Chain A
Amino acid sequence: MTISTATPSGRLLGPLLRRLEGDEKHARSAYSTLDVLWVLYDRVLRVSPETVDDPDRDRFLLSKGHGPAAYYAVLAAKGFIPETWLDDLAGPESRLGHHPDRMLVPGVEIGSGSLGHGLGLGVGTALGLRAQGLTRPRVYVLLGDAELDEGSNHEAIAYAGATQLASLTAIVIDNQSATHGWPGGIASRFAVNGWSTAEVDGRDHNALERALTAHRPGQPHAVVAVVEPKE
């Protein structure tokens, strides 16, 4: 385990990740989402184990559902799920698998795994909240740079921008894993469709917090969180 133990979140999450994945040694790059998830749940999202069914809660949708160890560790650290659930990942009786299922895990807003489904569900969630006059909750959707290959994302990016869906935030973890890359940058795909954008170091908690809360009225917001390349 090479997750840094120098930070409070590292000290907390390192042992939880070890419970999930046994003694396997993972480079930090195996947990590309770890810092973003921690900052979201520790500093940004208005949701707690007590409010997972509150209509007024913020929604976090993990679209990039593969490799959810960091997600489960953060949910356990924040009390959404018992830590003991981490000991039997993808076992026959386990509620935690290699892709999360919202019907099995408290606090998980969507079941994901097949790429390119979360942003459309996020757009619909934001629209549904707006239609019911629930103007306070924000909807955060976490994607990967390779996941953006799926065309369904671009349907959602274009529509959310065109309709100024301001309660929506897309977060793209950029570990440079898209096979053909994104010439001109990932943020430009959002910006050209009318989104506000921010590109930050995906390991810098203060910078992440600033970017994740930098949304503006009248525009959906995109945060590109750059981390070390996938190994």
Chain B
Amino acid sequence: MRETFVASATDLLAEDPRTAVVLADISAALFAPAARRHPDRVLNVGIREQLMIGVAGGLALTGLRPIVHSYATFVVDRTYEQLKLDLDHQGVGAIVVSVGASYDGSAMGRTHMSPGDVALLDTLSGWTVHVPGHPDEVPGLLRAAARHDDAVYLRLSTQVNDLPLPGAGRLTVVHQGGPAAPLVVAVGPMLRPVLQAVAGLDVTVAYTHTPRPFDVAGLRELLSGEPGGTVAPAVVLVEPYLAGTSAAVVSAALADVPHRLLALGVGQADLRRYGSPADHARWHGLDPAGLRRSITAFLG
């Protein structure tokens, strides 16, 4: 996804004089050709993430559309107050594009992991969050974000679904269960393990690459087909970041609908382990076998 992002951003720089890319050394080599062509709009501030967001805020104050890019842990976790004050409080936005989602950088250890990035952005107001599940979803999301001035987070991952679903800004059914089948919502790259996990189960699987704003209307629509019997509809939320990040949004959306909710995602603990992303998926119960265990236990 990172290469697709760099190619799209490079095209945007050439097409739209409002766009500017702000880097803190990460991916600077990939942006070198663009930097040669647009030296005033590809800005590498060095390993200075606070400044990176401050610069983005300043660029936006002059009417440009900054695209800020680094590892999630550096561009969100580390700069939280800059995001809050240099963007939100100034009344300006930026497109923040991260790599190193959750445990993508597992071999580098906890210092390069950021499972809490989306939860942190949830403490701010009005951020759109895109979590693409396939590289081919990235260009459309980046281009759409460049056309306005609001705050957008584009969370890139090395975990990838089998097929792109570029139109899935709203909940999109990818596997239809029978009447009153439980609903499993897979966000971004969780779709692939979810589909493997639920093979043979009578569930409906819906996908989105845009958890913020969450498709509240779509969720209610998907559940409205449920017969109003004695069994409350069951919803399983599977997110590739901190478990429960969207639980409050879903609960609020279903405040008047009796329901059961299981929210799966990355655990909070620092496991103090390296290994591969697949290892961490297994340890957090997000591999197909772990998901199947949790889902079948919940559905009973």
Which positions in A face B, CB cutoff 8 Å?
55, 101-103, 109-111, 114, 116-117, 119-132, 134, 151-152, 155-156, 158-159, 162
In the complex the two chains form, what is the Cα distance from A124 to B57 in whole Å? 7
> Chain A nearest CB: distance from B90 CB in Å?
6
Q: How many residues of B contact A (CB 8 A)?
A: 30
In contact, B62 and A55 (Cβ under 8 angstroms) = yes
In contact, B90 and A120 (Cβ under 8 angstroms) = no
In contact, A120 and B51 (Cβ under 8 angstroms) = yes
In contact, B50 and A123 (Cβ under 8 angstroms) = no
In the complex the two chains form, what is the Cα distance from A56 to B261 in whole Å? 54
Q: List 24 A-B contacts (CB under 8 A).
A: A103-B91, A114-B85, A116-B50, A117-B85, A120-B58, A120-B82, A121-B57, A121-B58, A124-B56, A124-B57, A124-B61, A126-B58, A127-B20, A127-B40, A127-B43, A127-B55, A127-B58, A127-B59, A128-B20, A132-B63, A152-B82, A155-B50, A159-B45, A159-B46
In the complex the two chains form, what is the Cα distance from A156 to B54 in whole Å? 9
A125: which B residues are within 8 A, CB to CB?
A: 58-59, 61-62
A123: which B residues are within 8 A, CB to CB?
A: 51, 54-55, 58
In contact, B48 and A159 (Cβ under 8 angstroms) = yes
Q: Does B287 contact A (CB under 8 A)?
A: no
B54 touches which of A120, A130, A162 (Cβ 8 Å):
A120
Q: Does B53 contact A (CB under 8 A)?
A: yes
A132: which B residues are within 8 A, CB to CB?
A: 17, 62-64
> Chain B nearest CB: distance from A76 CB in Å?
23
A128: which B residues are within 8 A, CB to CB?
A: 20, 58-64
What residue in chain B is nearest A110 (Cβ atoms)? B90
A152: which B residues are within 8 A, CB to CB?
A: 50-51, 54, 82
B89: which A residues are within 8 A, CB to CB?
A: 101, 111
A124: which B residues are within 8 A, CB to CB?
A: 54-62, 66
What residue in chain B is nearest A132 (Cβ atoms)? B62
B54: which A residues are within 8 A, CB to CB?
A: 117, 119-121, 123-124, 152, 156
Q: Does B81 contact A (CB under 8 A)?
A: yes
A103: which B residues are within 8 A, CB to CB?
A: 91
What residue in chain B is nearest A113 (Cβ atoms)? B85
In the complex the two chains form, what is the Cα distance from A121 to B59 in whole Å? 8
